[in-house]
Structure 1
């Protein structure tokens, strides 16, 4: 379930929404990185800056989900989405998957706004990625039939390692990770109870 064996063409066909998110993140990364366009201005316009959100720039609650600070940041979050997103896109369908991904990313950014200083700036999809982990945890608790015992143990182990590593890495939005995870779990609880 968490091992990718598809060809690129198969991946695109089976998981069109994840493919779109990956391409969108790449386009945003290029727009915020290439030297021959006003990349610094674009990055500044899309980053989550708590002060600007409070002053009315509400798009900054959503746009940071797709903006990354460097190639390594983009690759790590994209790799996580490629590994852990497809099973949920298949289980939930495209519409619900997009809803969960955006809702948990937005919840992580709102928590960051509420709990971090006004000067705090943040980017990255890790709040939404942790939201997927939270949703998987809800599956392991409330819909055991959707995941094998082995896959449930794998996702729980990775989620625990992810949470622990959150506190040992520099430049990590701890608030987004924790609240993305909580939002994913709560969203999973609601969706899976229907």
Structure 2
């Protein structure tokens, strides 16, 4: 007796969304609709269905929301899937130019602790005095050309595929949550007279999310692991590197990225943004704890 006779989908692969009679184990990496070998279109990672490859939603007239092409994480498919990464790079470069043009007077208002160059024995300057905006401005601020150069190259190579997989809103959430976590961990664990700046916390968050993306796509994770290992070795062997920000961003990126890419579809949005909000609440709580210690 066939115990699954009333549930054929439990034993057989789904049919292609354009050719229902053709069973397939392949899905579009953007909208996750099943596609047969005649319909799949090669993409930079995996395959796209014809509608996603052409930037269409398919059908005659507007399709129902459930059938519209979506990113792997359920976001809206954009005409330029890398636009937000370009904007983030542009913001970092613009702040870097402003730092070079305006000097220490501008830089002092952007770094995490407060005064630039950092003055000893003034641990209550900056965030501890209520200047919480520094937790955000410091993650867009660089002083050295090598620092911004390395971070922006990494941002492009990690951020562009993540933006395409997540969609803009989820990708921006991941970036900001990771950057905030990096700033808070530096505030929590570093010396109170150490000024911290740079996008590295957010960048390491992208590392963590990239690992989650590789797992979601069943891709070879060895390149990600090797690159992350090299970055961590650099973190702990070079001077003037905030390992606290790197580890904080990485931890937030792993948690947020996993939630973004592995949330169950029926309550995907709730899990994705609920997890992001929970991470923010934890890091804000740590920042309040550190402020209480310093004041």
TM-score by length of 1: 0.85
Match of 1:83 among 142, 153, 157: 157
Aligned residues: 177
The Cα of 1:13 is off from its aligned counterpart by 4.0
More helix by share: 1
Deviations 1:107-132 (A, max 9, x none): 01111111112212111001110000
Partner of residue 44, structure 1: 108
How far apart are the structure 1 equivalents of 2:191 and 2:129? 14
Mapping 1:114-153, distance limit 5 Å: 114-141=188-215, 143=216, 145=217, 148-149=219-220, 152-153=221-222
Unaligned runs of 5+ residues in structure 1 are 3-11
The Cα shift of 1:193 comes to 3.0
Normalising by structure 2, we get a TM-score of: 0.57
Of structures 1 and 2, the one with the larger relative CO (CA 8 A, separation 6+) is 1
Q: 2:83 aligns with which of 11, 16, 27?
A: 16
Counterpart Cα distance in 2 of 1:171 and 1:80: 19
Runs of 4+ aligned residues of structure 1 deviating over 6 Å after TM superposition are none
Question: How is 1:25-44 mapped onto 2 (pairs within 5 angstroms)?
Answer: 25-34=92-101, 38-44=102-108
Offset of 1:138 from its aligned partner? 2.5
Contact 2:166–2:260 (Cα < 8 Å) also in 1: no
Residues 138-164 of structure 1 deviation map (CA, whole Å, 9 limit, x = unaligned): 3344x2x2x532xx2211110111111
Q: Distance in 1 between matches of 2:150 and 2:182?
A: 18
**Residue 160 (structure 1) aligned to one of 197, 206, 229:** 229
**Pair 1:172 & 2:206 matched:** no
Structure 2 segments unaligned to the other structure (5+ residues): 1-43, 46-78, 115-124, 264-295
Shift, 1:189, TM fit = 2.3
Larger radius of gyration between Structure 1 and Structure 2? 2
